[in-house]
Amino acid sequence: LIGFPSLVKNLSASLLVIVTNNLLKRVGGDTALAVYAIVSRLYASLSLPQTGIVQGMQPLIGFNFGQKKLARVQETIRLSLISSVVYGLLVLTLCLLIPAALISLLSQESIIIAEGQIALRLLALAYPLTGVALITAVSFQSIGRAKEALLLTLGSMVASTLATALWSHHLTAAAMLLALLLLTGQEERRWRLPAWPVGLSLGGLLFIAYLARPAAVVFIVLLLGYLLWRQRALFWPALIMAGALFGLFLLWSQLEFGTPFPFYYRPERLAAGSGTGLLAALYGQLLSPSRGLFVFVPYLLLLPWGTGRLPVHQRPWLWLILAWGLGQLLLNQLAAPWWGGWSYGPRLLLDWWPGLALLVFLLWPRLSGGRTGHYRVALFAVLGLVAIWIHSYQGLFNVQTGRWNGAIPPNIDEHPEIAFSWRYPQIGTSAAALCERNEAFVWERIATIAPVTGALHQPVTAPTALYPGWSDVADDWRWSECERSSLLFNLGMQPSGDYVLLLETRWLGVTEFDISLNEEPVTSLTLPGATGTTTLQVLLPGELMQAGLNELTFHVPGAGTPDTRPPYRLGLGLASWSLSPPTSR
């Protein structure tokens, strides 16, 4: 198990190369493949010294940790981090200044050199952090804490959120974690560094966290307040650095946009409100079935077991972490939306995850100790496996968990109450469950349909009909998301004779579908080819029509988004429909 993270890392790297090569072949052809191969080889070659640092530190950490010589362990990690980051900065500087010269060592083709410069500069930005990531992973392996590190990664939002898209959380979480490590290391005297360099580094990290996510203001204010209380030697350089960078940011924004704050950073966004009461929002963030932290990360339920015995008198920075969590919960309620928009689980609480991870490691000896410690460890392991299933399987591979947010109504941004539904939770959802939820949602609004008299012509954007089983309108079209998709309309007159139904349709991946009216079969239509656009004409028997509510049902085999990737939509598209007696045409 100790070597499992390295195995996963190497497998992931191989999978990344395979996927990237196939994408580049389709998008850029042979030139793009050549650029990627050369830049990747350069990147790997230039990172070899960092790998050497990691391989050299691993036995030193393992031996000294086993001998209980923790001061040597801390000194080894400190020296390794410093040397790796300094080397990464030097390589980054070279790649930014002379990328053409470096690429020309492997290729003399002008087009590859020209395209490769951009790719190398972008990849080189990761050099300073590469060493930090490697050293952190190897440190956990060396001291035998791989299980906890693996669980906190695969069984949390780190896997289900950070691995799915390029979020602002990536940079913010990294900056806040480094700031916490700097603070705790200095406070507990794990290293002897001058106050000003540490304070300036803290100020720079705080500004980076704010630049990526203005919601980091909670952590920034609390950390500066803590420094003023406990570490005044660090407070002033941190405040000066953060203030100087913030002032430059305001000046740039004023010159670029004519306002001190770009839209994303405007303070009034924090006062927008989510329309949800404070207690309901707190419940939603902590215990709701589709956004609750303790539901998606159930092993955190054991934290209160040891929280009452937290050594806050020995480690007062723990107050900072606890206050940070409370402040983050309150900020998420004030700044709409607390549910995090279209996301999976408690995405917004990912900002607090560095603090939660430190709490888990700190409380672990208290959770696993005592006469009943082995029972708590077993329960922690079971809940951890559940969390890994939730995040690393459901969050990454269940396509329907993303569609749960509103690919088929209701949309969570318009109806955040769906986050509180235990009947249709986001975890483990399926296409069938989403269609069932949609049908219940639409039928609750059946009284909103206005009666229609005379010839009827309606675009799908009109509110005079309801569409269970269909998507929301996008570019004036609705798509069938369920095999059974209906059209509900209220006929405000007695039907007379047969009716002609015209459907402005397009289709993708289906070749036939059936139409029924008020549960009675009408016809089956065969479509010309797997894709296309046309206007279809169907004769509806008048005896099947009724005054009042009518349900026109389309049975489209395979409609919707499949449960497996790639999630190509299949089904029938509808832009408008018309219904009129033959004599009126």
CA distances to 400, 411, 438 from 405, rounded to whole Å, are 9, 6, 12
Q: Answer for the pair 483, 466: CB distance below 8 angstroms, yes or no.
A: no
* CA neighbor of 356 nearest in space, from 141, 70, 133, 153: 153
At residue 200, the pLDDT reads 92
Could you tell me the pLDDT band of residue 374, with boundaries at 50, 70 and 90? confident
Q: Averaged over 179-203, what is the pLDDT?
A: 82
Given a cut of 80, whether residue 118 has pLDDT beyond it is: yes
Strand partners, 439: none
At residue 121, the pLDDT reads 87
Q: Averaged over 309-335, what is the pLDDT?
A: 83
Domain-located, residue 565: yes
Q: State the chain's mean pLDDT as an integer.
A: 84
- Domain span holding position 503: 441-584
Lowest mean pLDDT among 215-229, 343-357, 491-505: 491-505
Range of 118-127, 186-195, 388-397 with top mean pLDDT: 388-397
At residue 247, the pLDDT reads 95
Lowest mean pLDDT among 30-44, 143-157, 356-370, 545-559: 143-157
354: its two tokens: 């560095």
* CA neighbor of 164 nearest in space, from 322, 396, 363, 330: 396
At residue 388, the pLDDT reads 92
Number of domains forming the structure of the chain: 2
To the nearest 10°, the Cα dihedral for 381, 385, 386, 390? 140
* pTM, to two decimals: 0.78
At residue 115, the pLDDT reads 86
Could you tell me the pLDDT band of residue 582, with boundaries at 50, 70 and 90? low
pLDDT in tens, 129-147: 777 777 776 766 666 666 6
Given a cut of 50, whether residue 290 has pLDDT beyond it is: yes
Domain-located, residue 532: yes
Lowest mean pLDDT among 104-113, 321-330, 488-497: 488-497
Q: Answer for the pair 141, 90: CB distance below 8 angstroms, yes or no.
A: no
CA 397 to chain centre: 13
Given a cut of 50, whether residue 407 has pLDDT beyond it is: yes
Q: Which of 87, 122, 144 is the last residue of a domain?
A: 144
Given a cut of 90, whether residue 242 has pLDDT beyond it is: yes
Q: Averaged over 232-261, what is the pLDDT?
A: 93
pLDDT in tens, 196-230: 888 998 999 999 999 989 989 999 999 999 999 99
**Could you tell me which residues come within 8 angstroms of residue 204 by beta carbon, excluding any fewer than 6 positions away?**
241, 242, 245
Determine the Cα–Cα distance for residues 33 and 24; give it in Å rounded to an integer. 6
- Higher-confidence position of 278 and 307: 278
At residue 507, the pLDDT reads 85
Q: Which of 144, 166, 198 is the last residue of a domain?
A: 144
* CA neighbor of 488 nearest in space, from 454, 513, 514, 519: 519
Domain-located, residue 266: no
Given a cut of 50, whether residue 7 has pLDDT beyond it is: yes
Domain-located, residue 66: yes
Domain-located, residue 518: yes
Strand partners, 515: 523, 554
Q: Answer for the pair 272, 338: CB distance below 8 angstroms, yes or no.
A: no
Given a cut of 90, whether residue 385 has pLDDT beyond it is: yes
CATH (domain of 521): 2.60.120.260
Domain-located, residue 580: yes
R_g (Cα) of the chain, nearest Å? 29
Q: Averaged over 569-581, what is the pLDDT?
A: 83
Q: Which of 118, 144, 170 is the last residue of a domain?
A: 144
Identity of the amino acid at 555: H
Given a cut of 80, whether residue 309 has pLDDT beyond it is: no
Q: Answer for the pair 330, 225: CB distance below 8 angstroms, yes or no.
A: no
Determine the Cα–Cα distance for residues 85 and 79; give it in Å rounded to an integer. 10
Could you tell me the pLDDT band of residue 585, with boundaries at 50, 70 and 90? very low
Domain-located, residue 501: yes
* CA neighbor of 338 nearest in space, from 395, 229, 412, 432: 412
Domain-located, residue 157: no
Q: Averaged over 277-283, what is the pLDDT?
A: 90
